[in-house]
Amino acid sequence: MVKPIIAPSLLAGDFANLGCDCHRMFKSRADWVHLDVMDGHFVPNITMGPPVISSLRKAVPRDESKPGKFFFDCHMMVANPEQWVPEIAKAGGDQYTFHYEATEDPLALVKLIKENGMKAACAVKPGTPVDVLYPLAEYLDMALVMTVEPGFGGQSFMADMMPKVEDLRKKYPKLNIQVDGGLGAATIPVAAKAGANVIVAGTSVFKAADPEQMIEFLRSHVTTELKSKGLLDE
């Protein structure tokens, strides 16, 4: 059983006011915030790194009375993901998502992530077949199917990635399955129907007249589809 999880991407926020944006998303009933870490090598863009995440964690400290609240979902679009595991853990990351394409030993990396006290997730780019995740799935807390090419926000959703989500959901009904890229009012129905339960949404939430309303709209679609499949954790 899985829950609907909405994770607004701070990549679509105001980088001069990320702490405020982070609070705004949680006040708008986001479940997580999604932090895109790019190094200019694995993807042709540079965004944030451990110092920024550390500052955000100071601005949005964990609530020890409510485990899992103020969850930082760190999407590591970096060429050497092993290098940054201790730093992201120290900075306050809760989940470390590495790219399958960036490592030669994904199982060892999963072990390293968990040894550093974080949840472990693995992402695949649009051109990578989903079956590379099958040997890893039992060790993962989440799988991420990219629905755009990683590196920049504001791209169009790739609906032809949905068979990957469907295949993962059929094989691993209790796994958190995330989709990232181009998610909004027009694309959430197909993503939810395919079986995605963790939705990364950037522009659609941050540019919405009412971010809370958009977050609830996304969540309602995921909830309905999970319930129809008998997979909703209530």
Q: Is 36 among the catalytic positions?
A: yes
Catalytic residue among 21, 31, 36, 94: 36
Q: Is 54 annotated as a binding residue?
A: no
Residue 13 among known ligand-binding residues: no
Place of tokens 């105001």: 14
Q: Is 153 annotated as a binding residue?
A: yes
Does 93 appear as a known binding residue?
no
Tell me how far apart the terminal alpha carbons of the chain are, to the nearest angstrom: 9
Counting Cα atoms < 13 Å in the Cβ hemisphere of 74 gives 31
**Residue from 31, 94, 167, 180 carrying the catalytic annotation:** 180
Which residues make Cβ contacts (< 8 Å) with residue 227, sequence separation at least 6? none
Q: Is 233 annotated as a binding residue?
A: no
Residue 73 among the catalytic residues: no
Using alpha carbons, select from 117, 33, 44 the residue that is nearest to residue 72: 33
Angle at 145 between CA 226 and CA 75, to 5 degrees: 110
Answer yes or no: is 75 a known binding residue: yes
**152 known ligand binder:** yes
Q: Cα(112)–Cα(85) distance, rounded to whole angstroms?
A: 7
Q: Is 203 annotated as a binding residue?
A: yes
Which tokens go with 3? 């829950």
What is the 8-class DSSP label of residue 157? P
Q: Which residues are annotated as a binding site for a divalent metal cation?
A: 34, 36, 75, 180
For the annotated catalytic residues, the residue numbers are 36, 180
Q: Which residues are annotated as a binding site?
A: 9, 34, 36, 75, 151-154, 180, 182, 202-203
